[in-house]
Amino acid sequence: MTATRIRVRGDVPYDVVVGTGVLGELPGMLGDSVRTVAVVHAEGLPEIARPVRGALEQAGRTVHTLPVPDGEAAKEIGVLAGLWSRFAELGVTRSDAIVGVGGGAATDLAGFAAASWLRGVTSVLVPTTLLGMVDAAIGGKTGINIPEGKNLVGAFHPPAGVLCDLTTLMTMPGEDYISGLAEIVKAGFIADPVILDLVEDDPEGAAAPDGTHTRELVERAIRVKADVVSSDLRESGLREILNYGHTLAHAIEKAEDYRFRHGHAVAIGMVYAAELGRLTGRLDDAVADRHRSVLASVGLPTSYGADAWPALRDGMRVDKKARGGQGGTPRLRFVVLDGPAKPGLLEDPDESLLETAYRRISR
């Protein structure tokens, strides 16, 4: 099957290439002037990093592979500082490039390393997980975590291209694959309800990388994100809708010391946002209930601990969407729905509303 090219527009346009055996596209994405490439990859993926290196060396590039910890452990300042030191040792210049290989954490880190090294060098991202393909690697948002919150330190740095080889999904652990489905379902609720129809048509297939609709689900979700970020690179307006479910999700991840799967947290966060929409009269019962049914059908969680609310409420105070309020207290902003594919904002909701919505999703 031929590769699909999805264009991300903007000041620095680039392609997201989806298909099988697409690594041959990598040298061309980097450009003819790049001679040295630092390949930053999750240390648990040497079997995927090797063909990336091979494709680059076959094209005459000098390649250095730099393994980083798997998962969120990669997105720490110490790991980033280690990469900076290695770039200096290797003599990486502004005419060289960085390739990020792995899940969303690895590509976030590699992207930020590229954005911050010498004030910005070329990067290409090769996501190997479902979450990375449909979300993290697209849009130019890069960053790391600090103890106070997730992705609070970062930069906007669009890559020169993104390569999504669907064969890598076959090696993913089942729970990790299902976790990535949360971002696909999110795309369905905020912009493309056909995604929801496809999941409901075959939930068992949706939960597997070899499902009947897998490629269509991936491409539809990528198109949703590409369309949004093309219109709003720096999250000044429309792009905020991509954070549907993420306000509570990031608080859950912080409370769990980032050992909780991102997609699982987003699934719970979407159910919470649906309850906020229902309680404010903006979302009808059928669509609110559909959140639970669609997410549960593929094995995603829809509730969280009843006693966790105080910690979660405190964690939401440092959400990136919050705005300054009276006395320096941040005013929360939630993305909510007014219907399928009709996202909007709920600003500074009453504390009693926030707690009532949480009680509806707690267990």
Coil, helix or strand at residue 346: strand
Q: What is the pLDDT along the chain (363 residues), one digit of tens a residue?
A: 689 999 999 888 999 999 998 999 999 999 889 999 999 999 988 888 999 999 999 999 999 999 999 988 999 999 999 999 999 999 999 999 999 999 999 999 999 999 999 999 999 999 999 999 999 899 899 999 988 888 889 999 999 999 999 999 998 999 999 999 999 999 999 999 999 999 999 999 999 999 999 999 999 999 999 999 888 666 666 789 999 999 999 999 999 988 899 999 999 999 999 999 999 999 999 999 999 999 999 999 999 999 999 999 999 987 655 655 545 557 899 999 999 999 999 999 999 999 999 999 998
- CA distances, 162 to each of 45, 271, 274 (Å): 18, 30, 32
The pLDDT score that the predictor gives to residue 292 is 98
Catalytic residue numbers?
A: 119, 141, 183, 225, 235, 239, 243, 246, 250, 262
Radius of gyration of the chain (CA): 20
- CA distances, 323 to each of 41, 233, 317, 320, 331 (Å): 35, 19, 10, 8, 5
Q: Do the domains at 4-171 and 174-361 have one common CATH topology?
A: no
The pLDDT score that the predictor gives to residue 233 is 62
- CA distances, 40 to each of 103, 153, 214, 352 (Å): 11, 19, 27, 46
Angle at 105 between CA 113 and CA 261, to 5 degrees: 160
Instruction: Provide the 10 A C-beta neighbour count for residue 334.
Output: 27
Q: Give the annotated binding-site residues.
A: 70-75, 104-108, 128-129, 141, 150, 168-171, 183, 246, 262
Residue with tokens 């910690």: 311
Question: Where do the H-state alpha helices sit in the chain?
Answer: 26-30, 46-58, 77-90, 104-116, 130-131, 174-190, 194-201, 203-206, 214-231, 246-255, 262-279, 285-297, 309-315, 351-361
Residue 217 tokens, joined: 């689900």
Question: Where do the H-state alpha helices sit in 26-120?
Answer: 26-30, 46-58, 77-90, 104-116
Domain ranges for the chain, please list them.
4-171, 174-361
Tell me the C-alpha distance between 150 and 42, whole Å: 19
By DSSP bridging, strand 4-8 and strand 14-19 are: antiparallel
Does domain 4-171 fall into CATH 3.40.50.1970?
yes
Q: Give the annotated binding-site residues for Zn(2+).
A: 183, 246, 262
Coil, helix or strand at residue 338: coil
The pLDDT score that the predictor gives to residue 348 is 93
Q: Give the annotated binding-site residues for NAD(+).
A: 70-75, 104-108, 128-129, 141, 150, 168-171
The pLDDT score that the predictor gives to residue 323 is 53
Q: Which residues contact 269 (CB under 8 A, 6 or more apart)?
A: 244, 245, 246, 247, 248, 249, 252
Indicate whether this model's pTM tops 0.75.
Answer: yes
Residue 49 tokens, joined: 């990093």
The domain at 174-361 falls in which architecture? Up-down Bundle (1.20)
Torsion from C-alpha of 153, 159, 161, 162, nearest 10 degrees: 0
- Of 90, 145, 73, 135, nearest in space to 112 by CA: 145
